[in-house]
Amino acid sequence: MQQSKQQETVVPSTNANSSRRPLLRSLALTLAILIPTSLSAGTPANKTVNLAVGSMPGNIVYLQIDLARALHYFEDAGINIHIDSLRKGADAANDLLHRRVDFSANSIDHVITLGSAGGNLKMVTSFTDLPTVTLVVRRDLRSQIHSIADLKGRRIGVTSFGSGTHVLLASILKKSGYSLNDVSIVSVGAGDSLIAAMKQKQIDAALSTDPTTIRLLMDGDASLLLDMVTFEETQRVFSGSYQFTGLLTRQDVIERNPELVQKMVAVMVRANHYIATHSAAEIAAALPPDIVGDRYIYIKSLEHSRPAFSRDGLVTPESIANNLQSLITFGSIQGGHSINPAAFYDMSFVKKSQAH
């Protein structure tokens, strides 16, 4: 206020200025009140968090990420989320490992394989606790392929060599007494490229996920042989649940910033609850059109894959052990008896979120 008085003493005392002086003082007082208020509203700026996702937007096994963003759950938690969607899960996991991001959305196998190589990643929330993968056969071959055993000598499409679908195929074949050496593996990608390979008869069967699976079935290009989106079908290969996708972070992030990890986990638990308590149509309506695409296909895909979604976000030793066994069968890791499944996850944040 002293500065204002000094300014007033040097202003010539004219009638015009005298008439403006009360207005100027009133304006200055208003600005003095409003400016700090507007700044303080913006200063508790949301914490910026970088998240790498091992897939492009719209992949159903990472629905929690798309849903949390669409429903503003990150903002509600005070998080300014920056999402980098990558085509390969390995790229997202490596970004986390090399500290380019503090969180990633990935399948648990990256935690296990990188852990055996000296990484220290943890899954802190589960998204899907079943494989969420369907084995389909070309419709014109259905009369010849009645079981897994009938796949011997056939060409089977997987997303890519070493991918989750490739790893799962090893366990599927082993259950029928065969190995990957008994079939021909073809890398066909996912979505349109997989569908094209099936239509052009470049493959006899394929491991796919939704919405690719639903598109193949609806168009009459394929039929189901093994549907590992349900617990019952998964038991044909594994005993119990099978941990698949979830939210990952590093141990140093947990130790350095547990409050942030708790916020991120709470967002994912909230998204899990929304999925468990809303219909496929309601979930599709909550998402932006570019994520949903063809609404009918998306809803059918979500209804089909829904049993694989985790309701509570918890990871169990049993579900990790099944994934471990799958990786051992494939040859990604050696041994298994000396590996402790509990080393790959931390459920303390999920349990704390549930307590609230």
H-assigned helices in 135-211: 164-175, 192-199
Q: Residue 63: which residues within 8 A CB-CB, separation 6 or more?
A: 127, 271, 275, 283, 302, 309
Strand locations in the chain (E) = 47-53, 79-85, 103-107, 121-126, 133-138, 155-158, 184-187, 205-208, 222-228, 245-250
Residue ranges of the chain assigned to CATH 3.40.190.10: 47-128+242-355, 133-228
**Topology given in CATH for the domain delimited by 47-128+242-355:** D-Maltodextrin-Binding Protein; domain 2 (3.40.190)
Walking along the chain (356 residues) 10 residues at a time, the average pLDDT comes out as 40 44 46 36 66 91 96 97 91 94 94 81 97 97 96 95 90 96 94 94 96 95 97 96 96 97 98 97 97 96 96 95 93 78 95 89
Q: Give the span between the Cα atoms of 265 and 246, in whole angstroms.
A: 10
Each residue of 190-231: pLDDT tens digit?
Answer: 889 999 999 999 999 999 999 999 999 999 999 999 999 999
d(CA 213, CA 350): 31
Distance CA 294, CA 278 (A): 19
C-alpha radius of gyration, the chain, whole number = 27
**How many CA atoms lie within 13 Å of 23's alpha carbon, on the beta-carbon side?**
5
User: For 3-132, where are the E strands, in sequence order?
Assistant: 47-53, 79-85, 103-107, 121-126
> Is the distance from CB of 242 to CB of 91 less than 8 angstroms?
no
Structural domain 133-228, CATH architecture: 3-Layer(aba) Sandwich (3.40)
- Length of the chain measured in residues: 356
Q: pTM for the full model?
A: 0.83
Residues 6+ apart with CB under 8 A from 137: 145, 204, 205, 222, 223, 225
pLDDT tens track for 11-35? 344 444 444 444 444 444 443 334 3
Q: Which residues pair with 49 in a beta bridge?
A: 81
| Stretch (H or E) spanning 151 | none
- Tell me which DSSP letter residue 309 carries: B
- 81-109 per-position pLDDT tens digit: 999 999 888 899 999 999 999 999 999 99
